[in-house]
Amino acid sequence: MNDILVLNLTRFGDLIQTTPLLRRLRTAYPGARITLAAQKQFSAILPLMRGFDSSIIFDQDAIVRSMNGEDAPIISYRNMEDFVCKLEENSYDMVINLTANRMSAYLVSLIKAGRIEGINRSEEHTSELQ
């Protein structure tokens, strides 16, 4: 296992509760590069967390603001596209999706991964999305 992505686009407390999982992944796969995807509004806690090598920040608030404001819809699209491009930059051996919603399931379907844990849009998991 060389590259692992942990997708946690949930609330602040949920992000903090990811720490034991990150430590366990680090123990189980000591040479792996672990990336944590988290929401921008909670990114200030990331330097205090251990067990991952890099992070990808999702600015959901900016997307919502641009959709609700006077900005052209293309601004929201470009913000989302930037995040998806960051997710697609690597091919992961494993993706762990801790965010249980349709958007994260769709995002996970765009990522190249050998193994996916958590909610996703694969054929065997489509019933979880209904």
**pLDDT tens string 70-106:** 666 777 788 888 888 998 888 899 999 999 888 888 8
Q: Tell me, what's the pLDDT at 119?
A: 83
Query: What pLDDT shows up at residue 115?
Result: 93
This prediction's pTM: 0.85
> Which residues in the chain land under pLDDT 50?
123-130
Task: Give CA angle at 88 (130, 55), nearest 5°.
Answer: 95
Count of CB atoms situated within 10 Å of the CB of 118: 18
Residue 48: the pLDDT is 92
Q: What pLDDT does 70 receive?
A: 62
pLDDT for 62 equals: 78
| Pairing mode, strands 54-58 and 113-118 | unpaired
- What is the Cα–Cα distance from 125 to 114, expressed in whole angstroms? 16
Pair of tokens at residue 64 = 């919502």
DSSP state of 61: H
* CB 14 within 8 Å of CB 29: no
